[in-house]
Structure formats: C-alpha cells, structure tokens
Structure 1
Amino acid sequence: MSQDGWRKSSRSNAAENSNCVEARVAPWRKASRSQATANSDCVEARPAASGFQVRDSKLGEGSPIFDLPEGDFTGLLRAARRA
C-alpha cells in the first residue's frame, strides 16, 4: 500500500480498465520519541475501523499488520510506558 493513504483493490490492477473507487487509509504514525534517536525503528500505529493497526517500522511495507481492538491497543501503550 502506498504511503499517500489511498488504497485500490488488488483486483483492479490486473484489469484492462483499472479505474475503480479508492479508499483513504490513515497514515502510519511513530512515537515522537523515536524520531530523535539514531535508531528510530519502532512500532507504528494507525486508527482503523476495528480499533487500531500496528506494524514493525523497520520492515515497512513488508511488515505484517496486526489489528487490535481499542482496549488491547490501550493496554499495549500502558505496558510500553512501564517498560
């Protein structure tokens, strides 16, 4: 998926007429603390219809994406703050 936030069905790319409706996807966000470090690899997150999605920033577009309900995402943030 491109970083510009627009997503098209994968089936439309192979069609002769690949015009189709595109959907806007929220951009990935990193923690503000990770931006200033030499090693800025971290977990990225974005809002989604199901709650939130997270991925490993160092893998980028190749990273698996995990869907988390809002409560689980909040728990992840709490645990990360304690670490």
Structure 2
Amino acid sequence: MSVLFFIRYVLPALVVVAAIILFALNPSLDSADGAAALIGAGLSIALLNFLHRMGVSGDRDRDDEAAARRYFDEHGHWPDEQR
C-alpha cells in the first residue's frame, strides 16, 4: 500500500472509525462531543485531500495547454488538427 493511498483514504477512515469506536465504548455527552470533533477531523482530512487533488489537476491542464502551444509554434498547426 502506498503512502499516498494511505493518506488519501485510509487515514480519514481510521480517524472516523476511531471516533465511532470510542463513542461506542463510552456513550456519554462528553464522549459525543469528542467523537463529533474526531469525525470532523477525519472529514476535514478527506476534504483537504480532495481540494489538493483539484488544485493539482488545474496545473496539469495548464501544462497540457503549454505543450500544445509549443507544438503549434514548431509545426504551424494544433496537435489535434488534421493538416
């Protein structure tokens, strides 16, 4: 299992599952507050991973556009055009 897979999927799931288990072991009002905080932390880890992937995909689109413009400068037509 890669570190990236662990951070993206396993870590948030472990935090949420740990919160549920801890609340199940001691179902009190204080424990519910702690469980809610841990669930929020797990969900925020997942959301930050998602937002990071969205930001990185924008960089990939810009790199593809730059490569297509370089191709146009060298060959006089776009890479997906027929000559």
TM interval, shorter chain, is under 0.3
Q: TM-score, normalised by structure 2?
A: 0.27
Q: Which has the higher contact order (CA 8 A, sep 6+)?
A: 2
Q: TM-score, normalised by structure 1?
A: 0.27
Which one has a larger percent strand, Structure 1 or Structure 2? 1
